[in-house]
Structures are given as C-alpha cells and as structure tokens.
Structure 1
Amino acid sequence: MRKLIAQELVSLDGFFSGANGEIDWHIVDDEYSEYALDLLNTVSMILFGRVTYQLMASYWPNESNDIAHKMNSSQKIVFSKTLESVHWQNTQLVSHNYIDQIQNLKQQPGKDLLILGSAELVSLLLNKGLIDELHLTVVPIVLGCGKPLFKDIDKRMKMDLYNSKTLRCGSVQLFYQTN
C-alpha cells in the first residue's frame, strides 16, 4: 500500500498562509530545494486542493529548473468542487468522492502520494485517517494572524516524530508518522 505524505510550510504560530493567502514568508533556498527535489523523486503523484493547485499551476509551467521539470511532468490530481477544468499538464480534476478516490489511489501499486500545501484537504484527510506522514517545515516567523494549517480537526491525533533537521536558514523540518 502506498503512503500519503503531506508536506507543509508553517509559521511558528501555526499558520499555513497569511490572512490573504500570502506565502511571501516561505524560505525556499538551495537547501530546502534539495529536500523538495528528493521528496518529489520518491512519489508518483501530487495531490492538491483548488487554491494550492491554482498557485502552483500559475508558477511552475513558467520555470525551467529541476524542480519545475519534476512538478510539470508528474501526475497530478486537483480536488475541487468549484473548478470546471484544469490546464496544467498531467493534471486530472476530481470533483466528488474525494475519500473513495484517495483510498483507491493508496491501494494501487507504485511510489507514494504527496500533498503539497492544500491545508483544507490535509485537514479533511487527517480526520479520515488517510495521511500517513506529515513533513512540516517550521519557518522562523510569527505572523500574528493568517490561515491555520489545521482547521476543523475533530479529534486528538498523536504523531510519532521519526526525523528532524535544522536548516541553515533557521527553519526546522519535522517528520511525523501518524498513528
């Protein structure tokens, strides 16, 4: 069975983005980019919610580095009830039965699955017990307000830390397995 990994950047005060969705505080340097490329090489598909999909689809097709190549060539699914179509290459739109679709994907053979960003999708899937690992990069900033990473979680969830790394920029990466 394939694992479903959620990879997130989060502020010290637990926000996924600023109040207006801004992510200009993310620190994406060479060291983080190396981690991101290594992670992308371990998965066969990337999953997104609508907001993160639209952000990524507006950025990566215009870039030409190794991460861009991987992002553009990877199979992608966007989960949205409001989008009518998707235009980023290798992207499929799923507008209903999210849980069934993800359970089916996890049962298929192949490399692991990855969610980038997409905090609402992550919270939904955490509540359903479908996320196997969380990779959190805690950025050394206090935003004071914003959109929380975990919203509408309906029960306590214990995680097991299996690795951590301090990046030169001051961010700390925490790698958790869910129970």
Structure 2
Amino acid sequence: MRTVTFAMNISLDGYCDHTIFNPTEELMDYYTALMDDVDLLFYGRVMYQLMFPYWADVARDKSGTPGENRFAERLTAIDRIVVSRSLQSADEKARIVRKDPAGELLKLKQLPGERISVDSVIMLPELITANLIDEFYFVVHPVIMGNGRHLLDVGSLQQKLNLKLIDTRHFDSGSVAIHLQQ
C-alpha cells in the first residue's frame, strides 16, 4: 500500500496561509527533497490554483532562485489529482475528481506506486477521519500571524489524533520541520 503524506507551512499560532511565508533556499531544498519519492499529488481546487500555473511558469522560464527552480521542476513533473466540483479544466498532468475525495484517495493508496502527497486544508479533516494520512510534515515558522486560515477548524475532527514524532530539523531561518507518523 502506498504512503500518503501531508505537508504544510504553519505559523506558531496555527495559521497556514501559503502566501504569508517566504521560504529560504534551504527550505525550498527541503520541500524539493520531500517530493523525491512522490509520484502523485492530491490537491483541492484552492491549493491547485495557488500552486499551478505559478510553479509551472517558474519551471518553464527558470524565473526563480535556484532552489525555487529545482522545486518547480520537480513539482510540475508529478501527476496530480484535483478534487473540485467547480473547476472546469486543469493542465495536462492533472485529472479532476468531482466527489468522494476519501474514497478516491483510498483507491489510489491501494494501487502500486510511490508516495502520494496531499495538500488541502479543506479536505484534511475528512482524510484524517478516514485514516488516510500516514505521515505529516509541518514546517513551523517563527511568526505569529493572528489571522488567516487555520490548519483545522474548531470541531472539524471527531476525536484527537495522536501522532509519533519521527524527526525534527532546524533551519537557519528559525523555522523547524517536524515529521510525524500515525
């Protein structure tokens, strides 16, 4: 069975707005390395539209820093599933799924392949409840935002999720990566 991972940047007070954080080259290399054995991305519409076409343009034009260019090349090479009821079209490496994200992810998890990387805060409670996320990677940034999108809304989980700490990594920026497993 394939391993399903969830990775997210997060502030000290639990906010996860990707547009707020400015990753260093060191963090870009960390996220690129997380993609080394990923062969499928499983995104919600919002994250898909945030990540693509932005990173596709960076990969094509080599318009980022060296770390951003490496990340863009790796990310855009991976096939992707986009869960959306409203998205009309997606790029050539993406397939749109209209319903039952947990059921779809369960089917994909049982197919041969490498890791599946999930990136959707909206679907996270449903996927956790269905016991589909095997590993979590959080990069905690040394910032208190005070507003934005929380990782989980109050009451979005039926019961607490106990995780096992596997590894931590400290970055020169003051950010800390935390790797956890169920």
Q: TM-score w.r.t. structure 2 length?
A: 0.89
- Give 3-state SS (helix, strand or coil) of 2:88's partner: coil
- Cross-structure match for 2:64: none
- Cross-structure match for 1:77: 81
- Cross-structure match for 1:51: 46
Matched, 1:26 2:28: no
- Give 3-state SS (helix, strand or coil) of 2:125's partner: helix
Matching residue's letter, 1:104: K
- How large is the Cα RMSD of the aligned pairs? 1.2
Q: Which of 116, 121, 124 is the matching residue for 2:123? A: 121
Matched, 1:166 2:166: no
Distance 2:92 2:28 in 1: 22
% identical equivalent positions = 28
Q: 1:14-58 CA distances to partner (integer Å, 9 max, x unpaired)?
A: 0112xxxxx343131111111111111111111111111001113
- Cross-structure match for 1:97: 100
Distance 1:24 1:48 in 2: 17
- Give 3-state SS (helix, strand or coil) of 2:118's partner: strand
Aligned residues: 171
Structure 1: gaps of 5 or more residues: 18-22
Matched, 1:157 2:161: yes
On the 8 A contact 1:27/1:139 being kept in 2, the answer is no
Matching residue's letter, 1:5: T
Structure 2: gaps of 5 or more residues: 60-68
Matched, 1:8 2:8: yes
On the 8 A contact 1:162/1:177 being kept in 2, the answer is yes
Residue 160 (structure 1) shift: 0.4
- Runs of 4+ in structure 1 off by over 6 angstroms are none
- Give 3-state SS (helix, strand or coil) of 2:53's partner: helix
- Cross-structure match for 1:20: none
Higher relative strand content: 1
Residue 101 (structure 1) shift: 1.0
Distance 2:81 2:129 in 1: 20
Distance 2:128 2:57 in 1: 32
Residue 97 (structure 1) shift: 2.2
Matching residue's letter, 1:130: L
